[in-house]
Protein backbone atom coordinates (compact mmCIF):
# COMPACT_ATOMS: atom_id res chain seq x y z
CA UNK A 1 0.00 0.00 0.00
CA UNK A 2 1.38 3.42 -0.98
CA UNK A 3 2.18 6.28 1.41
CA UNK A 4 -0.70 8.37 0.07
CA UNK A 5 -3.15 5.55 0.74
CA UNK A 6 -1.92 5.18 4.31
CA UNK A 7 -2.27 8.89 4.88
CA UNK A 8 -5.79 8.80 3.57
CA UNK A 9 -6.65 5.92 5.93
CA UNK A 10 -5.20 7.94 8.82
CA UNK A 11 -7.43 10.93 8.22
CA UNK A 12 -9.75 11.17 11.21
CA UNK A 13 -12.87 12.51 9.54
CA UNK A 14 -14.73 12.01 6.33
CA UNK A 15 -15.30 15.09 4.20
CA UNK A 16 -18.96 15.38 5.10
CA UNK A 17 -18.55 14.86 8.84
CA UNK A 18 -19.01 18.09 10.80
CA UNK A 19 -18.69 17.05 14.45
CA UNK A 20 -15.37 18.18 15.91
CA UNK A 21 -16.47 18.51 19.54
CA UNK A 22 -18.53 16.31 21.84
CA UNK A 23 -20.44 17.04 25.06
CA UNK A 24 -21.73 14.03 27.00
CA UNK A 25 -24.14 14.38 29.94
CA UNK A 26 -25.43 11.61 32.20
CA UNK A 27 -28.35 11.76 34.64
CA UNK A 28 -27.60 9.08 37.21
CA UNK A 29 -30.42 6.54 37.60
CA UNK A 30 -32.94 8.57 35.58
CA UNK A 31 -35.74 6.25 34.53
CA UNK A 32 -36.88 5.99 30.92
CA UNK A 33 -40.43 5.97 32.24
CA UNK A 34 -40.24 9.69 33.15
CA UNK A 35 -38.21 10.63 30.08
CA UNK A 36 -40.87 9.25 27.73
CA UNK A 37 -43.96 9.37 29.94
CA UNK A 38 -43.45 12.28 32.31
CA UNK A 39 -44.16 12.21 36.03
CA UNK A 40 -45.61 8.95 37.36
CA UNK A 41 -49.08 9.86 38.62
CA UNK A 42 -49.13 7.15 41.29
CA UNK A 43 -45.80 8.24 42.78
CA UNK A 44 -46.59 11.93 42.38
CA UNK A 45 -49.81 11.57 44.39
CA UNK A 46 -48.34 9.32 47.07
CA UNK A 47 -47.55 11.32 50.22
CA UNK A 48 -44.92 8.73 51.12
CA UNK A 49 -42.81 9.98 48.21
CA UNK A 50 -44.11 13.49 47.48
CA UNK A 51 -44.50 16.20 50.13
CA UNK A 52 -46.04 19.00 48.07
CA UNK A 53 -48.45 17.00 45.93
CA UNK A 54 -50.35 20.03 44.71
CA UNK A 55 -47.22 21.95 43.80
CA UNK A 56 -45.64 19.03 41.95
CA UNK A 57 -48.92 18.32 40.15
CA UNK A 58 -49.00 21.95 39.00
CA UNK A 59 -45.40 21.83 37.77
CA UNK A 60 -45.31 18.42 36.14
CA UNK A 61 -48.84 17.02 35.92
CA UNK A 62 -50.90 16.72 32.75
CA UNK A 63 -53.63 14.81 30.98
CA UNK A 64 -51.36 12.92 28.60
CA UNK A 65 -47.87 11.45 28.68
CA UNK A 66 -46.85 13.87 25.93
CA UNK A 67 -47.94 16.88 28.00
CA UNK A 68 -46.25 15.59 31.15
CA UNK A 69 -42.94 14.74 29.51
CA UNK A 70 -42.74 18.15 27.85
CA UNK A 71 -43.26 19.81 31.22
CA UNK A 72 -40.58 17.70 32.87
CA UNK A 73 -38.06 17.77 30.02
CA UNK A 74 -38.90 20.76 27.80
CA UNK A 75 -35.47 20.93 26.15
CA UNK A 76 -35.32 17.22 25.41
CA UNK A 77 -38.78 17.24 23.84
CA UNK A 78 -38.87 20.67 22.21
CA UNK A 79 -35.32 20.67 20.87
CA UNK A 80 -33.61 17.28 20.98
CA UNK A 81 -36.70 15.34 19.89
CA UNK A 82 -37.33 17.74 17.00
CA UNK A 83 -33.77 18.21 15.79
CA UNK A 84 -32.11 14.99 16.97
CA UNK A 85 -32.90 11.46 18.10
CA UNK A 86 -34.31 9.79 21.24
CA UNK A 87 -33.89 6.08 21.93
CA UNK A 88 -35.43 3.92 24.64
CA UNK A 89 -39.24 4.21 24.54
CA UNK A 90 -40.02 0.60 25.31
CA UNK A 91 -43.72 1.16 24.64
CA UNK A 92 -42.75 1.55 20.98
CA UNK A 93 -40.49 -1.49 21.06
CA UNK A 94 -37.34 0.63 21.03
CA UNK A 95 -35.12 -0.56 23.86
CA UNK A 96 -31.84 0.58 25.40
CA UNK A 97 -30.37 -1.79 27.97
CA UNK A 98 -27.30 -2.46 30.06
CA UNK A 99 -25.23 -5.45 29.02
CA UNK A 100 -23.58 -5.66 32.44
CA UNK A 101 -25.56 -7.86 34.86
CA UNK A 102 -25.25 -5.63 37.94
CA UNK A 103 -27.31 -2.58 36.95
CA UNK A 104 -25.76 0.00 39.25
CA UNK A 105 -23.41 2.91 38.81
CA UNK A 106 -19.73 1.88 38.52
CA UNK A 107 -20.51 -1.10 36.23
CA UNK A 108 -22.83 1.14 34.21
CA UNK A 109 -20.30 3.92 33.69
CA UNK A 110 -17.59 1.38 32.95
CA UNK A 111 -19.80 -0.12 30.23
CA UNK A 112 -20.69 3.26 28.75
CA UNK A 113 -17.12 4.52 28.48
CA UNK A 114 -15.10 1.35 27.87
CA UNK A 115 -17.61 -0.47 25.67
CA UNK A 116 -16.91 -3.56 27.79
CA UNK A 117 -19.47 -4.92 30.31
CA UNK A 118 -16.71 -6.40 32.43
CA UNK A 119 -18.13 -8.76 35.08
CA UNK A 120 -15.04 -8.08 37.21
CA UNK A 121 -16.35 -4.51 37.68
CA UNK A 122 -18.98 -5.42 40.25
CA UNK A 123 -18.99 -2.78 43.01
CA UNK A 124 -19.09 0.97 43.57
CA UNK A 125 -15.85 0.85 45.56
CA UNK A 126 -13.04 3.28 44.79
CA UNK A 127 -10.97 0.82 42.80
CA UNK A 128 -8.91 1.94 39.81
CA UNK A 129 -10.47 0.66 36.60
CA UNK A 130 -8.17 -1.57 34.52
CA UNK A 131 -10.27 -1.13 31.38
CA UNK A 132 -9.38 1.44 28.72
CA UNK A 133 -11.99 4.19 28.41
CA UNK A 134 -12.87 6.05 25.25
CA UNK A 135 -12.08 9.45 26.75
CA UNK A 136 -8.45 8.58 27.42
CA UNK A 137 -8.33 7.07 23.92
CA UNK A 138 -9.60 10.33 22.37
CA UNK A 139 -7.24 12.31 24.59
CA UNK A 140 -4.32 10.60 22.83
CA UNK A 141 -5.44 11.41 19.30
CA UNK A 142 -3.92 14.19 17.23
CA UNK A 143 -5.68 17.49 17.88
CA UNK A 144 -7.36 16.18 21.05
CA UNK A 145 -4.42 15.89 23.44
CA UNK A 146 -5.26 17.64 26.73
CA UNK A 147 -8.56 18.71 25.21
CA UNK A 148 -10.77 16.24 27.13
CA UNK A 149 -12.32 17.15 30.50
CA UNK A 150 -14.60 15.41 33.01
CA UNK A 151 -16.83 17.15 35.58
CA UNK A 152 -18.65 14.89 38.01
CA UNK A 153 -20.75 15.23 41.14
CA UNK A 154 -19.86 11.71 42.34
CA UNK A 155 -16.37 11.29 43.79
CA UNK A 156 -15.80 7.81 42.32
CA UNK A 157 -15.21 9.05 38.76
CA UNK A 158 -11.43 9.53 39.19
CA UNK A 159 -11.34 5.76 39.77
CA UNK A 160 -13.79 4.87 37.00
CA UNK A 161 -11.60 6.76 34.52
CA UNK A 162 -8.38 5.69 36.27
CA UNK A 163 -7.02 9.20 36.52
CA UNK A 164 -3.54 7.95 37.46
CA UNK A 165 -3.21 6.12 34.15
CA UNK A 166 -5.43 8.13 31.82
CA UNK A 167 -4.09 11.57 32.84
CA UNK A 168 -7.53 13.03 32.07
CA UNK A 169 -8.55 16.34 33.59
CA UNK A 170 -11.18 15.26 36.14
CA UNK A 171 -13.03 17.61 38.46
CA UNK A 172 -15.15 15.58 40.89
CA UNK A 173 -17.18 16.33 44.00
CA UNK A 174 -15.47 19.13 45.93
CA UNK A 175 -12.47 19.58 43.64
CA UNK A 176 -11.63 23.20 42.98
CA UNK A 177 -11.90 24.04 39.30
CA UNK A 178 -9.09 25.86 37.58
CA UNK A 179 -9.67 29.55 38.15
CA UNK A 180 -9.30 32.03 35.34
CA UNK A 181 -12.39 34.15 35.61
CA UNK A 182 -14.38 35.86 38.32
CA UNK A 183 -17.27 33.51 37.57
CA UNK A 184 -15.12 30.42 38.14
CA UNK A 185 -13.79 31.91 41.36
CA UNK A 186 -17.36 32.49 42.49
CA UNK A 187 -18.30 28.88 41.65
CA UNK A 188 -15.35 27.65 43.71
CA UNK A 189 -16.32 29.84 46.66
CA UNK A 190 -19.99 28.81 46.58
CA UNK A 191 -19.06 25.16 46.27
CA UNK A 192 -16.77 25.34 49.29
CA UNK A 193 -19.59 26.81 51.39
CA UNK A 194 -22.48 24.56 50.33
CA UNK A 195 -24.24 22.39 52.91
CA UNK A 196 -23.98 19.34 50.59
CA UNK A 197 -27.55 18.14 51.20
CA UNK A 198 -26.91 14.88 49.35
CA UNK A 199 -23.38 14.39 50.76
CA UNK A 200 -21.77 15.51 47.50
CA UNK A 201 -21.79 18.91 45.86
CA UNK A 202 -25.08 19.89 44.22
CA UNK A 203 -25.25 19.23 40.48
CA UNK A 204 -25.45 22.93 39.68
CA UNK A 205 -21.84 23.40 40.82
CA UNK A 206 -20.69 20.49 38.67
CA UNK A 207 -22.49 22.01 35.72
CA UNK A 208 -21.29 25.57 36.26
CA UNK A 209 -17.68 24.42 36.66
CA UNK A 210 -17.97 22.56 33.34
CA UNK A 211 -19.58 25.48 31.51
CA UNK A 212 -17.07 28.04 32.72
CA UNK A 213 -14.19 25.66 31.95
CA UNK A 214 -15.51 25.37 28.40
CA UNK A 215 -15.59 29.13 28.04
CA UNK A 216 -12.07 29.58 29.38
CA UNK A 217 -10.28 26.56 27.85
CA UNK A 218 -12.31 25.38 24.84
CA UNK A 219 -11.93 21.62 25.39
CA UNK A 220 -13.05 19.48 22.48
CA UNK A 221 -14.67 16.74 24.58
CA UNK A 222 -16.51 17.39 27.84
CA UNK A 223 -18.30 14.89 30.04
CA UNK A 224 -20.71 16.19 32.70
CA UNK A 225 -21.89 13.55 35.20
CA UNK A 226 -24.91 14.67 37.24
CA UNK A 227 -25.98 12.69 40.30
CA UNK A 228 -28.96 14.19 42.16
CA UNK A 229 -31.68 12.13 40.46
CA UNK A 230 -30.25 8.88 41.82
CA UNK A 231 -29.58 10.26 45.29
CA UNK A 232 -33.08 11.67 45.76
CA UNK A 233 -34.61 8.48 44.38
CA UNK A 234 -32.72 6.34 46.91
CA UNK A 235 -34.11 8.60 49.64
CA UNK A 236 -37.65 8.07 48.32
CA UNK A 237 -38.08 11.78 47.51
CA UNK A 238 -40.01 11.66 44.24
CA UNK A 239 -40.73 15.38 44.25
CA UNK A 240 -37.02 16.20 44.50
CA UNK A 241 -36.20 13.52 41.92
CA UNK A 242 -38.52 15.31 39.49
CA UNK A 243 -37.17 18.75 40.36
CA UNK A 244 -33.59 17.57 39.82
CA UNK A 245 -34.53 15.98 36.50
CA UNK A 246 -36.15 19.23 35.39
CA UNK A 247 -33.11 21.21 36.56
CA UNK A 248 -30.86 18.89 34.54
CA UNK A 249 -33.00 19.57 31.47
CA UNK A 250 -32.52 23.31 32.02
CA UNK A 251 -28.76 22.74 32.23
CA UNK A 252 -28.93 20.89 28.91
CA UNK A 253 -30.78 23.83 27.42
CA UNK A 254 -28.24 26.26 28.83
CA UNK A 255 -25.17 24.36 27.57
CA UNK A 256 -26.72 24.00 24.11
CA UNK A 257 -27.46 27.72 24.04
CA UNK A 258 -23.82 28.41 24.88
CA UNK A 259 -22.60 25.88 22.30
CA UNK A 260 -24.67 27.43 19.54
CA UNK A 261 -23.58 30.96 20.48
CA UNK A 262 -19.87 30.12 20.49
CA UNK A 263 -17.90 30.48 17.24
CA UNK A 264 -15.67 27.63 18.46
CA UNK A 265 -18.50 25.15 19.15
CA UNK A 266 -21.47 26.22 17.00
CA UNK A 267 -22.52 23.73 14.31
CA UNK A 268 -19.47 21.57 15.09
CA UNK A 269 -20.61 19.98 18.37
CA UNK A 270 -22.74 16.95 19.19
CA UNK A 271 -24.57 16.64 22.52
CA UNK A 272 -25.33 13.15 23.87
CA UNK A 273 -27.39 12.44 27.01
CA UNK A 274 -27.94 9.10 28.74
CA UNK A 275 -27.91 7.37 32.14
CA UNK A 276 -25.99 4.58 33.83
CA UNK A 277 -28.94 2.37 34.85
CA UNK A 278 -32.70 2.38 35.32
CA UNK A 279 -34.78 1.73 38.44
CA UNK A 280 -37.70 -0.34 39.59
CA UNK A 281 -41.40 0.40 39.21
CA UNK A 282 -44.07 1.19 41.79
CA UNK A 283 -42.58 1.04 45.30
CA UNK A 284 -39.35 -0.40 43.89
CA UNK A 285 -38.63 2.86 42.05
CA UNK A 286 -36.32 3.86 44.91
CA UNK A 287 -33.81 1.14 44.09
CA UNK A 288 -32.04 -0.75 41.34
CA UNK A 289 -29.75 -3.74 40.94
CA UNK A 290 -29.62 -7.24 39.49
CA UNK A 291 -32.75 -8.31 41.37
CA UNK A 292 -34.91 -5.54 39.88
CA UNK A 293 -35.40 -6.26 36.17
CA UNK A 294 -36.27 -2.68 35.17
CA UNK A 295 -32.86 -1.54 36.44
CA UNK A 296 -31.24 -2.45 33.14
CA UNK A 297 -33.57 -0.26 31.09
CA UNK A 298 -31.97 3.01 29.96
CA UNK A 299 -32.28 5.64 27.20
CA UNK A 300 -30.24 7.89 24.91
CA UNK A 301 -30.77 11.36 23.43
CA UNK A 302 -28.51 12.88 20.78
CA UNK A 303 -28.39 16.21 18.97
CA UNK A 304 -25.77 17.44 16.54
CA UNK A 305 -24.78 18.27 12.97
CA UNK A 306 -24.17 14.65 11.93
CA UNK A 307 -27.34 13.19 13.48
CA UNK A 308 -30.46 13.06 11.33
CA UNK A 309 -33.60 14.60 12.92
CA UNK A 310 -35.43 11.29 13.44
CA UNK A 311 -37.06 12.36 16.71
CA UNK A 312 -38.47 9.64 18.95
CA UNK A 313 -37.15 6.49 17.32
CA UNK A 314 -39.84 3.82 16.99
CA UNK A 315 -37.76 1.13 15.28
CA UNK A 316 -38.10 -2.16 17.13
CA UNK A 317 -34.56 -2.85 18.25
CA UNK A 318 -32.32 -3.34 21.27
CA UNK A 319 -29.33 -1.04 21.80
CA UNK A 320 -26.82 -1.75 24.54
CA UNK A 321 -24.84 0.68 26.66
CA UNK A 322 -21.64 -0.99 25.50
CA UNK A 323 -22.24 0.55 22.05
CA UNK A 324 -21.89 4.09 23.34
CA UNK A 325 -18.09 4.21 23.63
CA UNK A 326 -17.58 3.37 19.95
CA UNK A 327 -20.34 5.81 19.05
CA UNK A 328 -18.67 8.66 20.95
CA UNK A 329 -15.44 8.00 19.08
CA UNK A 330 -17.15 7.60 15.70
CA UNK A 331 -18.82 10.99 16.02
CA UNK A 332 -15.31 12.47 16.02
CA UNK A 333 -14.19 10.22 13.18
CA UNK A 334 -12.25 7.70 15.28
CA UNK A 335 -12.57 3.96 15.70
CA UNK A 336 -12.21 3.14 19.39
CA UNK A 337 -9.94 0.16 20.01
CA UNK A 338 -8.68 -1.30 23.26
CA UNK A 339 -7.10 -4.45 24.71
CA UNK A 340 -10.55 -5.75 25.53
CA UNK A 341 -13.79 -6.22 23.56
CA UNK A 342 -15.62 -3.05 22.53
CA UNK A 343 -19.26 -2.85 21.43
CA UNK A 344 -19.94 -1.63 17.90
CA UNK A 345 -21.27 1.87 17.29
CA UNK A 346 -24.98 2.63 17.18
CA UNK A 347 -26.25 2.72 13.60
CA UNK A 348 -27.85 6.02 12.67
CA UNK A 349 -25.88 8.24 15.04
CA UNK A 350 -23.15 10.10 13.21
CA UNK A 351 -21.25 8.67 10.25
CA UNK A 352 -19.32 5.42 9.79
CA UNK A 353 -15.68 5.84 10.76
CA UNK A 354 -12.72 5.67 8.43
CA UNK A 355 -9.79 5.83 10.78
CA UNK A 356 -8.29 2.42 11.41
CA UNK A 357 -4.66 2.32 10.33
CA UNK A 358 -3.33 5.13 12.51
CA UNK A 359 -4.91 4.03 15.80
CA UNK A 360 -3.34 1.51 18.12
CA UNK A 361 -4.85 0.00 21.30
CA UNK A 362 -3.91 1.66 24.57
CA UNK A 363 -2.22 -0.63 27.04
CA UNK A 364 -4.07 -1.61 30.19
CA UNK A 365 -2.45 -1.04 33.56
CA UNK A 366 -1.63 -4.34 35.19
pLDDT averaged over every residue in the chain: 91
Mean pLDDT on 202-222: 96
165 phi/psi in degrees, rounded to 5: -90, -45
341 CB burial (10 A radius; 0-12, 13-18, 19+): exposed
pTM (predicted TM-score):
0.92
Bridge partners of residue 22, in order along the sequence: 221, 270
Task: Quick: pLDDT tens for 279-289.
Answer: 999 999 999 99
Task: Quick: pLDDT tens for 77-89.
Answer: 999 999 999 999 9
pLDDT, residue 57, reads: 98
CA distance 114 to 243: 31
Q: What are the start-end ranges of the E strands in 70-165?
A: 85-87, 94-97, 148-152
Domains along the chain?
A: 3-331 (3.40.720.10)
Look at residue 199 and tell me whether its pLDDT is greater than 90.
no
Largest CA distance in the chain: 71
Task: Quick: pLDDT tens for 315-362.
Answer: 999 999 999 999 999 999 999 999 999 999 999 997 654 333 233 333
Asked whether 218 and 259 are in contact (CB, 8 A), the reply is: no
CA distance 226 to 204: 9
pLDDT, residue 179, reads: 64
CA angle, 5 then 11 then 12, to 5° = 150
Amino acid sequence: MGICSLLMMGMHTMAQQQTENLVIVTLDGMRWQEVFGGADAALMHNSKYTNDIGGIQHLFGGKTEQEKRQKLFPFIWNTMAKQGQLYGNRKLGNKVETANPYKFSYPGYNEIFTGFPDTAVNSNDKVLNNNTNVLEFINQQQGYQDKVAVFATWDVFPYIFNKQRSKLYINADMDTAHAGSSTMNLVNDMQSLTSKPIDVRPDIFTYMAAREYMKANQPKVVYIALDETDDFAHHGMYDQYLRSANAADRMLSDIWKYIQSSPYYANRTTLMVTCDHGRGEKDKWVDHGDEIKESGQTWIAVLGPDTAPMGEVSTKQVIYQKQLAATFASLLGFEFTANHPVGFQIAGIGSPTQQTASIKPIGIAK
